[in-house]
Amino acid sequence: MLDNLEDRIIARLQADFPAAQVLLYPENHTRFNLPAILLDLNELAYEDEDGGRLMFTARFVAYCLENPNGADAERTVRNFATEVAVRIHQEEDFGADDVTRNANIIDVGPNAFRPELHSYICWAVEFEIGITVGEGVWNGAPADGVPVTTIEVGDLNTAHLNHSMAAGADEPVAEDTINLPDQPKG
């Protein structure tokens, strides 16, 4: 599941930014072309359990790298990171079936926390996506040999509510009557 989601995010960003090299980080990439986007899964924050499936918030960082010697490099990297954030926000779930909550941008800004990236100008796009992991124990269909009971309540469209209110001081108080059908319709 996680590999599939990472691959989908990388493929989408590569399609959106064909001039950039988009890679999974922190794999041992000794050389890469600039501009580059390095995708890192920072954390899986546990949320809940749903029928045997675990629900997490997957927190990602997309490191946007530019050549520090390029013309107007600071402005270029900040615009690049902003464009990456917009595309992540617009893509939402990257077409992955196990995404339960669309991409949410947390922060976009300069990043100096990775010493191995200090020779580049780096801005980071932090975002999170809700995901489920694992196989559900409830598949929606009863197992063979398990009896299923269906109860029909009736057609509530034919129920009638009558409300009458007293017209004067000598009249009785208001009265409500509900008439439900005797037989369920099916």
> What pLDDT shows up at residue 65?
93
Which of 33-47, 84-98, 145-159 has the weakest average pLDDT?
A: 145-159
Q: Which domains does the chain have, with CATH numbers?
A: 2-133 (3.30.2000.10)
pLDDT in tens, 21-72: 999 987 766 677 899 999 999 999 988 887 778 899 999 999 999 988 888 9
> What pLDDT shows up at residue 176?
56
Q: What is the mean pLDDT of residues 161-170?
A: 55
pLDDT at residue 160 tops 60: no
Q: What is the mean pLDDT of residues 155-174?
A: 55
> How much of the chain, in percent, has pLDDT values that exceed 70?
67
Q: What is the mean pLDDT of residues 95-116?
A: 84
> What pLDDT shows up at residue 13?
96
> What pLDDT shows up at residue 151?
47
Q: Quote the mean pLDDT of the chain.
A: 80
pLDDT at residue 163 tops 90: no
3-class SS letters over the chain? CHHHHHHHHHHHHHHHCCCCEEEECCCCCCCCCCCEEEEEEEEEEEEEEECCEEEEEEEEEEEEEECCCCCCHHHHHHHHHHHHHHHHHHHCCCCCCCEEEEEEEEEEEECCCCHHHCCCEEEEEEEEEEEEECCCCCCCCCCCCCCCCCCCCCCHHHCEEEEECCCCCCCCCCEEEEECCCCCCC
pLDDT at residue 112 tops 50: yes
pLDDT at residue 166 tops 60: no
Highest mean pLDDT among 7-11, 22-26, 147-151, 171-175: 7-11
> What pLDDT shows up at residue 9?
94
